[in-house]
Amino acid sequence: MIPVLKAQNVWKIYDMGADRIEALRDVNIEIFKGEFVAIVGKSGSGKSTLMHILGLLDTPTQGKVILNGVDTKGMTEKQLAQVRNNEIGFVFQSFNLLQRTTVLDNVILPLKYSRVPSSEWERKAREVIELVGLTDRIRNKSNELSGGQKQRVAIARAMVNDPSIILADEPTGNLDSKTGDEIIKNFLKLNDRGKTIVLVTHDDELAEIAQRKIVLRDGTVVK
C-alpha cells in the first residue's frame, strides 16, 4: 500500500549566526489512508516544524516529502500551492478565518482556487457545513461565533476540497475542555467516514484518541 504521506530522511536546519539548530533530524514517517495519527512531543520537540513540512508550507533542508506517491521536492511555489489547496486540509489553533465574512463564504474560499466549477461551490460548502453541524449559522459572520463554532468552520473549510489528508495543529489549544471535546468528536466522525487525519499536539491525553502516536524529542522520532 502506498502511503498518503511520507517523510523520507527529512532534516530541517536553521543557521542562526554562529549557531546551527537542527529542528528535525533524519525523520522518517509514513501515514496511510484512513489513519488517525497523533504527532506528539513537548514544546521545542519539532512537531510544529514537521507539521509545516508535511503540509508543504515549508521545505526540508534535506530529504523529501512524498504525497500520494508523488515526490514534492523541486516543485515550484505555484505547484506547491496547488497541491496544498487540492490535497491537504489545514486546521489551526487560531482558526485563521476571515472575521467579517460569513460561514458560507469562509468555507467557499478554497474552492475559488480549485478546479471545481463556481456553480458547484455553494452546494459543496453547504454539505460540509451541515456535516459539522453549523447549518443554522451559515449566514453568520465568523466574528459572531464562539470559539468552538469557529473551529468547526475551520474543519468544514479544510474538508470542502475533499483533501487526501487533514492536518490539525493544536486544534483545541484555544478552547475550553468541553468545547475541545466537541471538536475532537468532529474529527472522529470524519475519520469514521474514511478521512486521513494527522493531529499535532503536546497533550498526551488528547493524543490517546488517535489510532497511532508518533513521538518526537529534540527533532527525532523516538517512538
For residue range 49-108, what is the model confidence (pLDDT) as tens digits? 999 999 999 999 999 999 999 999 989 999 999 999 899 999 988 888 888 899 999 999
Q: Compute the distance between CA of residue 104 and CA of residue 117 in angstroms, rounded to an integer.
A: 16
34-57+75-221 sits in which CATH class? alpha beta
The pTM of the full predicted model, rounded to 2 decimals, is 0.88
For CA atoms 87, 2, 221, 71, the dihedral sign is negative
What does the H/E/C string look like for 113-141? HCCCCHHHHHHHHHHHHHHCCCHHHCCCE
Span 162-220, pLDDT tens digits: 898 999 988 888 888 888 888 888 888 889 989 999 999 887 778 888 999 999 999 99
